[in-house]
Amino acid sequence: MLVGLAARDLAMTRFAVSPLWEAVASVRVVKRPQQFPEHLAWYERVRPRLTGVDWRLFADLVRMPTPVIPAFLCPPPAMSQPTLDVELATLVATSAEAVRAGVEALPGPRSSRLAALHADPATELPRLATAIRGYADAVIAPYWPRMRALLEREVLLGAQRMATDGVHGLLNHLNQFVRLEAETLTVEHVTLAGSVRLDGRGLLLVPSVFIGARVWSNFDSPGQPVLRFPARAVGTLWERDPTPHGRGLARVLGRTRAALLHELAVPTSTLELAGRCGLATGTVSQHLGALREAGLVGAHRVGRFVLYARTTAAEALIAASGAGAT
């Protein structure tokens, strides 16, 4: 697909994180886990939690293997870090025309639940929001702090790239299926083709955990055009072992600091580190301070959160000690 960008579009390019989109995209993993090997550990953990959760209407709207997802199901986030409740409120306020168009775009037979949604969106949309909330509470909420930290790290890296290389540099390093030449953005989709102009609406970039290997876009519907792309290092989210495998690193740094470095493969807050390692937050802060002084850990503020991550020196140390393997 060819996307025409004007100067105003480039100036209005921004990032956002979307918990609703992660819930939508994760349904594809639950339905076809073998197609997403990087998320198999997550799937095995959450599958039992869906017992007793009525999310059938939600599941009807996210079909596999079709790449079609109704646009109204994942509206563009109006803010950079919306909560799921905020996004569900937007969903419930969707116009009847948009809901019906989304249902009609789905291929194949229409279930009785989809027929009811098509016939009476005002009544069925709140029920859909309840179904999504129940699903997300079961399979997304337990992991959302780590997911959010990884996504916010992706936003931070994108902002740094834009600061040094401009929007052109950002878009040309975003994903292998996206490239910008002059004022034309080429987005390679499996099924979509054609051309569109953004007409000054700008571009919303949304990193995603569950999106898979390719990008997803929505350039035609009302609101800011959206380009969703895979975040990096998503496989590290589901690592089970909270301790490093390299005994040598633990002998040099101590078991606690070696364990903290192991956890910081994904940018993480002090509170999250404390929970994962079974330590007091004050203890974690002291060890992080020592690791920062040694040049092994860096800190980045994202909104009201401070996220810690390993530096390149720490990565080299871990690789040399063999502690990074899981």
- The whole-number average pLDDT for the span 248-263 is 88
Nearest to 132 by CA among 187, 204, 237, 62: 62
pLDDT of residue 323 exceeding 60: no
C-alpha R_g of the chain: 21
Q: How confident is the model at residue 272 (pLDDT cuts 50, 70, 90)?
A: confident
Q: Using CA atoms, how far apart are residues 24 and 140, in angstroms rounded to an integer?
A: 10
Count Cβ atoms within 10 A of the Cβ of residue 310 and give its class: 0-12 exposed, 13-18 middle, 19 or more buried.
buried
Q: How many CA atoms lie within 13 A of 10 on its CB side?
A: 17
Q: How confident is the model at residue 181 (pLDDT cuts 50, 70, 90)?
A: very high
pLDDT of residue 34 exceeding 60: yes
Class (C level, CATH) for 239-321: mainly alpha
Dihedral, CA of residue 308, residue 268, residue 80 and residue 14, to nearest 10: 50
Strand partners, 268: 308
Domain boundaries, the chain: 2-14+146-234, 18-144, 239-321
> What would the pLDDT profile of 291-311 be if each residue is shown by its tens digit?
999 999 998 776 566 888 888
What is the DSSP secondary-structure string of 106-174? S-SPPPHHHHHHHH-HHHHHHHHHHHHHHHHHHHTGGGHHHHHHHHHHHHHHHHHHHHHHHHHHHHHTT
Structure confidence at residue 75 (pLDDT): 93
Of 38 and 250, which is predicted with more confidence?
38
Q: How confident is the model at residue 324 (pLDDT cuts 50, 70, 90)?
A: very low
> What would the pLDDT profile of 41-54 be if each residue is shown by its tens digit?
999 999 999 999 99
pLDDT of residue 241 exceeding 60: no
pLDDT of residue 243 exceeding 80: no
> Which CA distances in Å does 268 have to 14, 188, 237, 260?
23, 32, 11, 10
Contact 268, 307 (CB under 8 A): yes
Structure confidence at residue 302 (pLDDT): 60
Of 234 and 265, which is predicted with more confidence?
234
What is the DSSP secondary-structure string of 72-122? GGSPPPSSSS--HHHHHHHHHT--HHHHHHHHHHS-SPPPHHHHHHHH-HH
pLDDT of residue 191 exceeding 80: no
> What would the pLDDT profile of 71-121 be if each residue is shown by its tens digit?
999 999 989 999 999 999 999 999 999 999 999 999 989 999 999 999 999
Structure confidence at residue 189 (pLDDT): 86
